[in-house]
Amino acid sequence: MADRVILHCDLNNFFASVSLLSHPSLYSLPVAVCGDKEERHGIILAKNELAKSYGVKTAEAIFEAKAKCPDLVLLKPDYEKYREYSAAAYNIYSKYTDMIEPFGIDECWLDVTGSRLLFGDGETIAHSIRKEIKAQLGITVSVGVSFNKAFAKLGSDMKKPDAVTVISKENFKDKVWPLPVSDLLFAGKRTCERLADCGIFTIGDLAACSDGTLKHLLGKNGEQLKKYALGLDDSPVAHQNDIYIPKSVGRSVTRAKDFTSRDEVLETFTELAEDISDTLRKYSLLAGGVQVHIRNSALNVREFSQALEHPTNSPTLLVKKGMELFDKNVFLDQPLRSVGLRAINLKDGDIAIQQDFFGVLESDEKQEKIDDSVWAVKKKFGRDSLKTARTVKKDD
């Protein structure tokens, strides 16, 4: 079987690049897109190349970025325009293949194996896409070309902006193995720290490490990362007509003022759970577990999770289990900057659920019926037709 030809297209500095299209006078200045400082979302979301040259980094606080670059120009995000340009880029990709898998709003994998007779080899197609994006949208894209998804993603990161990088079976050891492990797909910070403790710093070190050592350190994730390092990633690129099914559904909130009481968290969880429940119902899914996320004023993040005895899409039960987790693990000894709730271990809502023969879950089942009735009313008459008393504001 012939090798696959996979592209990874990464729109360069996407938020900043699209925002600058409306502010052409700022092209020669260091620019960053950031959240609303007054609403406590004061972090850098994206930056242009000039800002990057000053050391400005995504996700750092605005005051940190300003310390590095006092003349940094800050722009508010325009998410509607970002979605518009993301869709336009997708339309360009679809001229070359129908096997397109989004990886966020500004990145996509393309399988162009079957497109070569029409458009040329992978590198030729990558350059055609690069030129078309630039000419039609006024922004740039970096494209990685390889025989698997992991290396294509690496390639798009190696040269920026407006570049094409080819990683082949013949050159990947020279190009990929000297890179730090952190460059590899799904190698997170904690994973890299554990590997570094054992003297594994580069992708080549990872490739040479024994299976037993990696399994001991990282479990199945270690085995998968080694496969990536060896170029053995055989994961397919999704077809554009494939139905998207989420693996988890979560929401989080950063408030203008810190959370300082349990009641504030409960009110927020109640609002988040309604959004989560709507999404679960949309995809006919049930939550098999709940995860709670908190971030304190020092920006330290903690997460807690718990399996559910009875899979559910009930917002009331999601809040109940979420607050049980919160009460068990969080003492509010310091204010919380953000909280989040997530439905995890999702299950097909159409499958048969084990019956409760002993009546232990009878009250939960009654609550689910109530929530089903509420959802049916809201679906017919609008989301605001019924509200939980806890979420109704005094001005409503």
Domain 23-77, CATH? 3.40.1170.60
Tens digits of residue pLDDT in 235-257: 999 886 776 678 899 998 887 78
Q: Round to whole Å and give the CA distance between 171 and 231.
A: 11
Amino acid at 105: I
| Whether pLDDT at 276 is above 50 | yes
CB-based contact 169:6 (threshold 8 Å)? no
Tens digits of residue pLDDT in 116-151: 999 999 999 999 999 999 999 999 999 999 999 999
Q: What is the pTM of this model?
A: 0.67
Active-site amino acid positions: 107
Q: Round to whole Å and give the CA distance between 23 and 80.
A: 16
Strand partners, 6: 111, 146
Tens digits of residue pLDDT in 66-80: 999 999 999 998 989
pLDDT reported for residue 75: 93
The CA distances from residue 5 to 121, 200, 232, in Å, are 8, 30, 14
* CATH architecture observed for domain 174-229: Orthogonal Bundle (1.10)
Domain ranges of the chain: 23-77, 174-229, 249-391
Task: Indicate left, alpha or beta for 137 from its phi (over 0: left) and psi (-120 to 50: alpha).
Answer: alpha
Tens digits of residue pLDDT in 3-16: 899 999 999 999 99
- Coil, helix or strand for 162? coil
Neighbour-count burial of 174, counting CB atoms closer than 10 A to its CB (0-12 exposed, 13-18 middle, 19+ buried): exposed
pLDDT reported for residue 218: 87
Overall fold of domain 249-391: Dna Ligase; domain 1 (3.30.1490)
Identical fold between 23-77 and 174-229: no
| Whether pLDDT at 36 is above 70 | no
Q: Round to whole Å and give the CA distance between 316 and 391.
A: 13
pLDDT reported for residue 329: 92
